[in-house]
């Protein structure tokens, strides 16, 4: 490690380039540690900053990374907001001298840019022994499309220097000479991003195993070294807060979706949120799947493609072929090449795609799938392989040509790549397109409501709220102390579900917290809340196209709020027409207690009580409501029991069996139970159970029935 940082010949140049590029990306104003507004630009940067904001303003807890106020009731830790735990822990020690609106992400990006140049230079210098050539070659690594695509919005995952450091150790050092460096690197990754911890740890383990094959070292030494690293790693993971979520909660959908495509290194189209931009004028878009264009984005750049073409041509000539094979004969390069094959297969997953076509899909046992799903964004794993390819290409150009010729070629290729990706680069440059997009909530009523309230809650607390972007800046600006309106990479699913049930129970029992502003998630919830609180001293406010609710503030409602509130009616259910239900439907019939069906049709009842709400156009006398549903039954619960209430009166008790059969039952509703042509149907479940409890999946929602269709008819 000491030798690594003693070579400072061009460090000043790298520092200047890093600072210049930082100014270009963020803009001059956003470099300031006290300017946080640019982080609330609708990207993941807001999650990083809010995670840090709530962590900084909280007391010290144990584990040290525990962050309970960001995700009140189901929080995890600073780790799962990608807020760079290393910096969060360090700067929290000095919070007594930090300004209230403080961010360290501009500093982080500066360090990231510098180390990106530094480690790429060190690798190239080791193989070329040319400062000027290695200097120019290192510039490719800060304009690499898959690196540029992360800058400015995904701080922890933009730390690609970790991958370059990994390659540097793997390519240039004997393993017995770099044990301490590997130890420091692996522990460091856990304090930055667990995505890098996985790939670095796997790289190190494979490196040790392949070195054992080549050198036949004592296998006991390898086991001992791995054991020491794992013990320290587990300790650090515990201290930082990785285990604040259950092991099952680390599993997630997305394996086989956010992956590498066989054409990923040639596809220039990158996706940032809902927008896409191409890093090439000349290379066409291969129209990859959305997940592959986001997490699987691995475009090597026009310069890299041209190098591949040049070297392919050189391979046809024997004298050049010998020079190229001499490079590949390096034992370290051979080992890293084998490791790269394994990591590439992992990145491709069990579903191998070529462009928009799936050419091979291997079915996996659910337990194997669960284990692999710990790393969902497998497309990221290929980044280290991509850098290895780029290193080999740049070294090969140097070895195949005279020194001056190779320098001219590499300079030309760099200029061509920079020019070819200029549109995308410009879209990432803050001087041209400022990050300061401003808050999305501008109405003055928000300031009035939050002056006395320091808690914000959404009526549908989940780990990825669609309302988070709108409120992120407002929460920091108004010094909010707690919130369940969050975005989290991982969370305790069981605690999150129980938080919803407790919230709905409090809302039904009219137990409102006077210190909380309730943000209404959807129209169905708003209708339910109006039904519960229309005659109470509760203010409903429609501002910036969002509904909110505050206890004891009815007098603050203005004419516009009152007019909009009065226009909220239950949705009409047409007589004799069967309606198919979908959770994505905004104008719906359901109040509290319903949840998604993983994007498919139907809605799941969730928790002990679920409510349907609708109206009919006139008095039809006695009517019947036909329900088509599928009960959630397992070997543990072979029957599902629930009571049905209509407008607060018990209507019937139901017991469903046979999980594989769709159930149809009828609710008879008498005329005298219908009030103002409005019907509120409440399902009170006696024994809902979650898939997690029966080891079917990590899903901790207590499910009752999958409601598919409803139909109302006169009797």
pLDDT, one tens digit per residue, over 342-385 is 999 999 999 999 998 999 999 888 778 777 878 889 999 999 99
Fold classified for 445-566: D-Maltodextrin-Binding Protein; domain 2 (3.40.190)
Determine if residue 702 is left, alpha or beta; phi over 0 gives left, psi from -120 to 50 gives alpha, anything else beta: beta
What percent of the chain lies above the pLDDT cut of 90? 76
How far is 94 from 79, CA to CA, in rounded Å? 19
pLDDT, one tens digit per residue, over 571-604 is 999 999 999 999 988 899 999 999 999 889 999 9
* CB of 177 closer than 8 Å to CB of 213: no
Domain assignments of the chain as residue spans, ordered by start: 445-566, 579-714
How far is 613 from 336, CA to CA, in rounded Å? 61
* CB of 614 closer than 8 Å to CB of 571: yes
Task: Say if residue 204's pLDDT is above 90.
Answer: yes
pTM of the full predicted structure? 0.93
The DSSP result for 272-299, as a single string, is ETTEEEES-SSSPP----HHHHHTT---
How far is 609 from 680, CA to CA, in rounded Å? 13
Nearest to 709 by CA among 613, 611, 630: 630
Pairing of strands 538-543, 516-519: unpaired
* CB of 677 closer than 8 Å to CB of 712: no
How far is 123 from 173, CA to CA, in rounded Å? 11
* CB of 597 closer than 8 Å to CB of 695: no
Contacts of residue 579, Cβ cutoff 8 Å, sequence gap at least 6: 573, 589, 709, 710, 711
How far is 335 from 211, CA to CA, in rounded Å? 8
Average pLDDT over residues 424-431: 75
Ranges of beta strands (E only) in 335-478 are 351-354, 357-361, 455-458
Least confident of 285-299, 404-418, 500-514: 285-299
Nearest to 527 by CA among 593, 436, 589, 456: 589
Average pLDDT over residues 237-262: 88
**Residue 247: predicted pLDDT:** 81
**Residue 4: predicted pLDDT:** 54
> What's the CATH superfamily of 579-714?
Galactose-binding domain-like (2.60.120.260)
How far is 481 from 475, CA to CA, in rounded Å? 8
pLDDT, one tens digit per residue, over 357-368 is 999 999 888 778
* CB of 517 closer than 8 Å to CB of 548: yes
pLDDT, one tens digit per residue, over 431-461 is 556 565 556 788 999 999 999 999 999 999 9
How far is 159 from 261, CA to CA, in rounded Å? 23
């Amino acid at each position: 490690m000491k030798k690594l940082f003693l070579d400072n010949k061009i460090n000043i140049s790298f520092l200047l380039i890093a600072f210049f590029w930082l100014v270009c990306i963020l803009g001059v104003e956003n470099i300031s540690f006290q300017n946080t507004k640019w982080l609330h630009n609708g990207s993941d940067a807001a999650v990083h900053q809010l995670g840090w904001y709530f962590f900084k303003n909280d007391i010290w807890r144990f584990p040290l990374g525990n962050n309970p106020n960001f995700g009140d009731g189901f929080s995890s830790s600073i780790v799962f907001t990608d807020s760079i735990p290393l910096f969060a822990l360090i700067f929290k020690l000095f919070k007594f001298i930090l300004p209230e609106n403080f961010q360290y992400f501009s500093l982080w990006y500066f360090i990231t840019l510098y180390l990106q140049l530094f480690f790429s230079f060190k690798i190239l210098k080791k193989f070329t022994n040319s400062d000027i050539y290695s200097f120019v070659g290192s510039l490719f690594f800060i304009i690499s499309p898959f690196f540029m695509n992360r800058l400015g919005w995904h701080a922890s995952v933009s730390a690609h220097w970790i991958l370059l450091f990994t390659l540097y150790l793997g390519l240039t050092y004997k393993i017995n000479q770099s044990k301490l460096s590997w130890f420091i690197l692996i522990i460091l990754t856990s304090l930055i991003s667990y995505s890098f911890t996985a790939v670095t740890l796997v790289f190190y383990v494979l490196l040790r195993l392949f070195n054992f094959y080549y050198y036949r070292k004592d296998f006991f030494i390898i086991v001992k070294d791995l054991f020491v690293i794992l013990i320290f790693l587990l300790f650090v993971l515990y201290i930082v807060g990785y285990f604040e979520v259950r092991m099952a909660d680390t599993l997630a959908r997305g394996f086989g979706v956010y992956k590498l495509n066989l054409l990923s290194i040639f596809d220039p189209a990158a996706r940032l949120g809902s927008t896409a931009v191409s890093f090439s004028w000349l290379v066409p878009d291969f129209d990859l799947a959305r997940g592959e264009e986001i997490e699987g984005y691995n475009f090597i750049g026009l310069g890299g493609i041209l190098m591949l073409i040049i070297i392919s041509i050189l391979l046809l000539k024997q004298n050049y072929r010998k020079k190229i094979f001499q490079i590949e004969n390096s034992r370290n390069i051979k080992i890293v090449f084998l490791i790269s094959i394994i990591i590439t297969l992992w990145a491709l997953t069990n579903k191998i795609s070529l462009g928009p076509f799936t050419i091979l899909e291997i079915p996996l046992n659910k337990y194997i799938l669960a284990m692999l799903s710990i790393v969902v964004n497998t497309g990221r794993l290929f980044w280290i392989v991509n850098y290895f390819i780029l290193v080999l290409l740049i070294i090969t150009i140097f070895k195949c040509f005279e020194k001056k010729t190779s320098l001219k070629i590499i300079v030309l290729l760099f200029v061509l790549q920079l020019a070819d990706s200029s549109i995308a680069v410009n879209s990432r440059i803050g001087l041209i397109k400022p990050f300061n997009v401003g808050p999305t909530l501008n109405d003055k009523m928000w300031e009035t409501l939050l002056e006395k309230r320091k808690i914000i809650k959404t009526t549908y607390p989940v780990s990825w709220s669609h309302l988070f972007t709108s409120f992120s800046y407002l929460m920091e600006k108004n010094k909010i102390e707690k919130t369940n309106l969050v975005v989290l990479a991982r969370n305790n699913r069981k605690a999150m579900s129980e938080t919803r049930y407790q919230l709905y129970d409090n809302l039904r029992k009219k137990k409102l917290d006077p210190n909380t502003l309730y943000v209404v998630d959807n129209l169905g919830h708003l209708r339910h809340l109006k039904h519960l609180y229309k005659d109470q001293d509760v203010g409903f406010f429609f501002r910036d196209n969002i509904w909110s609710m505050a206890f004891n503030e009815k007098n603050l409602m203005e004419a516009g709020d009152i007019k909009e509130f009065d226009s909220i009616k239950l949705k009409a259910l047409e007589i004799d027409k069967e309606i198919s239900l979908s959770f994505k439907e905004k104008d719906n019939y359901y109040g509290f207690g319903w949840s998604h069906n993983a994007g498919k049709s139907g809605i799941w009842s969730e928790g002990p009580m679920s409510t349907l709400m609708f109206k009919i156009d006139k008095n039809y006398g006695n009517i019947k409501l036909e329900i088509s549903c599928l009960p959630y039954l397992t070997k543990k619960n072979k029957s599902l029991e629930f009571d049905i209430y209509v407008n607060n009166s018990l209507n019937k008790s139901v017991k469903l069996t046979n999980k594989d059969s769709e159930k149809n039952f009828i609710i008879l509703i008498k005329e005298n139970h219908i009030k103002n042509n409005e019907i509120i149907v409440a399902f009170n479940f006696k024994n809902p159970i979650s898939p997690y409890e029966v080891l079917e999946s990590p899903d901790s929602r207590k499910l009752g029935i999958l409601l598919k269709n409803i139909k109302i008819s006169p009797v």
